[in-house]
Chains A and B, each alone.
Chain A
Amino acid sequence: MPTKIHPALIGFTVLVFFFLVGPLVIVLGSALSDTTYLTFPPQGISLRWFQNIFEIDAFRRTILTSLQVAVISTFVALLIGIPASYAMSRYRIQLPGWLSTLFVLPVLVPELVLGFSLLKNLAFQFNAPIFLSLIIGHTILILPYVIRVISASLASFDFSIEEAAISLGSPPLKTFFTVLLPNVRSGVIAAFILAFITSVNDVSISIFLTGPGISTLPIQLLAHMEQFFDPTVASVSVLLMVLTVAVMAIVERTLGLTFLAK
């Protein structure tokens, strides 16, 4: 039975949600405008600014880079994050307590500091390729999300199931893939999505690890905004929102959205 809530609080909440959703609606409207300057409400409806994205070489390249970086770093983060989460729940007693603190460090250390440090002490010092530095930065950035989400789903995993499988003659590695992974499937999907979106949206690390010849989409957006104030940025934003909606739809289909609130 829901508790009674004062109408003033409900009114306030309605305003808050207008505040949360309104600006995104405005971006959407501006992207559809048929004018060469940004305006809302849109004057004339046109999709030409969406077309424009793909006509600008810089956007085409950075969209590609962003997707490459997001896919690679997400896969790497899952590849090393899943065994780490597994080790921390299964072999907790073997591992020192500071290990879990170590895996939260990427959240504690400001992203800007990580980005700058990778530029200074990896890319510059050791002449590491920028793209590699970018991958390393993004992988570290999203690793805590992966570990947190996978650990949460492992917390409800009954490890005696695994022992049952082994006792029935299944080798340990095979058991990991046939028994454990299917049971934390939803966690893996959630981790993948969170990691992917975080990577695609990242500014603070990428801002230091881009330069002539290599850049990510958000950095290109920032650069574009400093020179032009046309609806292109709005339409790229809408494109990113569509990506977000698509991802949320996948989450909704597989897990239910309240999962993200946990």
Chain B
Amino acid sequence: MTKPLSIRNITAHYGQTKVLEDLSLDIAEGELVSLLGASGCGKTTTLRLVAGFLQPTSGSITLGGKDLTKLPAHQRDIGLVFQNYALFPHLTVAENVGFGLKQRGISGDAKTKRVGAMLERVGLAHLAERLPGALSGGQKQRVALARALVIEPPLLMFDEPLSNLDAKLRVDMRVEIRQLQRANGTTSVYVTHDQEEAFSISDRVAIMHAGKIMQLDTPENLYQRPANAFVARFVGFENLVPMKVVARDGAKITAEAAGGVKLTLGLEHFGAIPDNFVLACRADGLAVTDNAAAEGIPATLGLRTYLGRAYQYQSETAAGMLVANGPLSKPLEPGSNAKLVPVPDQCTILAVE
């Protein structure tokens, strides 16, 4: 039933504006891939192209080897879950779920049975005769999910399905969506702007920006080894320090940043380090210490904020303003001098673009 999706060299325009540029994406059978990015990055456009609500300027879309590019939306057989649920307000819950079956000529007992079973699965059997207006947000979202699943589509697509729910429900629902998707093994595309949601639910995540995929990888790899500065910033590497290797010594290198700051980094942690690179560190990846002998970036501390697990300092350095965390046990005063010591676990190396 489920099929792999292949998007090949898609370019798309809204009027004169190019919104997608030469985008390619392969999603394996049964895999859930999220498209993650800020609004206007092209993630929703990609979804609408696959759904058939937009036509690409060039490129092709195939589902299980079948070319969808020229097929009208209603013949594509894709299950869609909308941000605003898009439930038919004049139809009951059961009629909403049965809508797709009706279009496929399935009626009578067969339809009733499948609708009933699906409502059972999403836990809404008792609301079958209600109109959508009488449902809560979470219930509406379940109906939308049931309606998309009941047609047993080879591909499921979610367009920010949880953004209208409150925080607690959002977490519950994403677990539920993932469980249903796993159980059915349906190939899925999931569009969201919420990083935590994308990382928690997906097999792989495509981080998008300005109509391009910046990186497509597993959540673990994206989080720990971003491929470029954009993705690094996106996943929370707040400090990007350009550096140049000045000495190599076996398993260690010494590199210099602007302002003559020198650091020694171990290859065992970072792998190969090119001559020119960017050291990317989270705030936790720069430990603030008042030990003047420590090897780190010399800084003058600025504003201190309390994070609960640490203090965070806006730190003035020769390499620019950096954000670094220090221990709760030792609050340091603004204006004092300190060292920012890189913590290898919370840092990564980026090639210069």
Q: Would you list the 3 A-B pairs with minimal beta carbon distance, nearest first?
A: A1-B53, A1-B54, A1-B48
- Contact residues, B95-124 vs A (CB, 8 A): none
Closest to A3 in B: B53
Binding site for A on B (CB under 8 A): 48, 53-54
- Contact residues, A37-60 vs B (CB, 8 A): none
Interface flags for A1-12 (1: CB within 8 Å of B; 0: not) read: 100000000000
CA distance A108 to B53 in the complex (A): 44
Binding site for B on A (CB under 8 A): 1
CB distance from A2 to the nearest CB of B (A): 11
In the complex, which residues of chain B have a beta carbon less than 8 angstroms from the beta carbon of A1? 48, 53-54
In the complex, which residues of chain A have a beta carbon less than 8 angstroms from the beta carbon of B54? 1
Closest to B73 in A: A4
In the complex, which residues of chain A have a beta carbon less than 8 angstroms from the beta carbon of B53? 1
CA distance A1 to B48 in the complex (A): 11
What are 3 of the A-B contact pairs (CB < 8 Å)? A1-B48, A1-B53, A1-B54
CA distance A1 to B47 in the complex (A): 14
CA distance A1 to B53 in the complex (A): 8
Closest to A4 in B: B72
CA distance A232 to B53 in the complex (A): 55
In the complex, which residues of chain A have a beta carbon less than 8 angstroms from the beta carbon of B48? 1
CA distance A1 to B12 in the complex (A): 14
CA distance A1 to B45 in the complex (A): 11
Closest to B48 in A: A1
CA distance A1 to B73 in the complex (A): 14
CA distance A1 to B52 in the complex (A): 12
CB distance from B119 to the nearest CB of A (A): 30
CB distance from A7 to the nearest CB of B (A): 15
CB distance from A249 to the nearest CB of B (A): 29
CB distance from A4 to the nearest CB of B (A): 8
CB distance from A218 to the nearest CB of B (A): 43
CB distance from A16 to the nearest CB of B (A): 27
CB distance from B46 to the nearest CB of A (A): 14
Closest to B53 in A: A1
CA distance A241 to B280 in the complex (A): 71
CA distance A94 to B94 in the complex (A): 43
CB distance from A48 to the nearest CB of B (A): 51
CA distance A43 to B251 in the complex (A): 101
Closest to B55 in A: A1
